[in-house]
């Protein structure tokens, strides 16, 4: 059985790595961040969401998380709301149970799984065979996020303003995720920490694969 836990900051490359490792080892992948985004997207459909804790838990209770591959979940507004509700221990506990259920089923049926998020190695898969924490400089991460948007700018200043806005939002989200009391975004003590500032997705996959294969062959 092979369990892979991948944590890290947004636009660091953790999601792409998780997908590629899932394909390589033919084991299911769950992007846990999209679960929070799914709840956040439903919250934003409401006209009144003053009591975020109660509303987010109600939505999580009745929501299906079977199909999370929806580009609409990747907007900045949803990302910001997801970060706000992710601080609620009650909501995290509800989603943690669903994540652990996914792990159990995946291990039973496929002999393993890959999960990525912000507290996988410390909370969801503390005994995972392999743990990774992926990060990159804030400047590079903001540029990657801007490229994902595939926007054509008429003026250079427009691009600079958008990049500045993305950077500011990332800084805010990082601070929230790193400093929340329940399950903060920190590397697990036994995680491989990889900085992707100067490497691409294929190079990251190569590094991770070598670490996994090296450990598998030695056991």
Number of structural domains, the chain? 1
In a domain, 74, yes or no: yes
In a domain, 183, yes or no: yes
Choose among 188, 36, 179, 60: nearest CA to 125.
188
Note down the domain range covering 32.
Answer: 2-200
In a domain, 212, yes or no: no
In a domain, 214, yes or no: no
In a domain, 76, yes or no: yes
pLDDT in tens, the chain (219 residues): 899 999 999 999 999 999 999 999 999 999 999 999 999 999 998 867 778 999 999 999 998 888 788 878 888 889 889 988 988 999 999 999 999 999 999 999 999 999 999 999 999 999 999 999 999 999 999 999 998 877 777 677 888 999 999 999 999 989 988 998 888 999 999 999 999 999 999 999 999 999 999 877 666
In a domain, 213, yes or no: no
Beta carbons within 10 angstroms of residue 149's beta carbon: 11
In a domain, 210, yes or no: no
In a domain, 211, yes or no: no
Exposure on the CB side of residue 26, measured as CA atoms within 13 A: 3
**Structure-block tokens of residue 191:** 């995680």
Strand order through the sheet with 112-117: 29-31, 112-117, 2-8, 130-135, 192-195
- Maximum Cα–Cα distance for the chain, whole Å? 56
CB of 98 closer than 8 Å to CB of 174:
no
Give the domain CATH number at 64.
3.40.50.300
């Amino acid at each position: 059985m092979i369990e892979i836990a991948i944590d890290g900051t947004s636009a660091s490359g953790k999601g792409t790595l998780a997908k590629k490792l899932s394909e390589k080892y033919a084991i299911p992948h769950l992007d846990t961040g999209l679960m929070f985004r799914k709840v956040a997207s439903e919250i934003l459909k409401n006209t009144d969401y003053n009591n975020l804790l109660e509303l987010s838990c109600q939505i999580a209770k009745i929501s299906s998380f079977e199909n999370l591959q929806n580009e609409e979940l990747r907007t900045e507004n949803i990302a910001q709301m997801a970060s706000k509700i992710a601080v609620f221990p009650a909501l995290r506990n509800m989603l943690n149970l669903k994540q652990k259920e996914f792990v159990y089923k995946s291990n039973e049926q496929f002999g393993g799984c890959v999960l990525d998020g912000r507290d996988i190695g410390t909370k969801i898969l503390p005994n995972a065979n392999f743990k990774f924490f992926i990060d990159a400089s804030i400047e590079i991460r903001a540029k990657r996020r801007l490229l994902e948007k595939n926007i054509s700018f008429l003026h250079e200043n427009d691009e600079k303003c958008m990049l500045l806005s993305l950077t500011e939002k990332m800084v805010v989200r990082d601070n929230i995720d790193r400093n929340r009391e329940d399950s903060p975004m920190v590397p697990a003590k036994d995680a491989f920490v990889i900085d992707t500032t100067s490497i691409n997705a294929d190079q990251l996959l190569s590094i991770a694969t070598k670490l996994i294969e090296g450990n598998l062959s030695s056991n």
